[in-house]
């Protein structure tokens, strides 16, 4: 897997909102503490790319538990954040009607850094293949310009 970013985010206005928090809530079924995507900042529909954001707070359910005294965002939640970005993109741009989308694979996952409360986790997604019922996307997480994880995610309409 590449250790460079999927696309250059320095030219993106990180204050813009392409898919609002409310719309993410309509597109994805996760809610409450399991909602891991705050909103989508930017999309390139034709190029199959999206940039989302996850504001990591100090009052999240995992903070006192993982790891006590040194809270680290669990890797599975980082991947879940990216998966929710992929799902919102697929639901918004690739399906004619909203349907339940499940994740069938996470491959080639590498954790390269830590995410802690107070961090802003930027999520990058590049759709590699898309069919009416299935997609494969390469994803990455970035904090303060550092690549903290990458994974290939496959989703399928269930």
Q: Which residues are catalytic?
A: 66
- 158: tokens are 């269930």
Residue 35, C-beta contacts closer than 8 angstroms, at least 6 positions apart: 24, 25, 28, 84
Residue 67 CA to residue 71 CA, distance in Å, equals: 5
Given a contact cutoff of 8 angstroms between Cβ atoms, the answer to whether 88 and 52 are in contact is yes
Which DSSP string do the residues of 101-146 spell out, in sequence order?
EEEEEEEEEEE-S---TT-EEEEEEEEEEEETTEEEEEEEEEETTE
């Amino acid at each position: 897997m590449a250790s460079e970013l999927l696309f250059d985010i320095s030219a993106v206005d990180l204050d813009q909102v392409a898919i609002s928090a409310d719309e993410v809530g309509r597109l994805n079924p996760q809610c409450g503490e399991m909602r891991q995507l705050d909103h989508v900042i930017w999309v390139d529909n034709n190029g199959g790319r999206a940039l989302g954001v996850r504001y990591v707070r100090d009052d999240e359910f995992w903070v006192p538990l993982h790891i006590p005294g040194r809270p680290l965002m669990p890797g599975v939640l980082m991947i879940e954040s990216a998966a929710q970005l992929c799902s919102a993109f697929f639901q918004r741009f690739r399906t004619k009607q909203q349907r339940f989308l499940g994740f069938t694979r996470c491959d080639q996952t590498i954790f390269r850094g830590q995410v802690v409360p107070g961090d802003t986790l930027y999520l990058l997604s590049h759709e590699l293949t898309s069919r009416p019922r299935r997609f494969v996307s390469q994803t990455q997480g970035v904090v303060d310009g550092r690549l903290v994880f990458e994974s290939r995610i496959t989703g399928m309409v269930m």
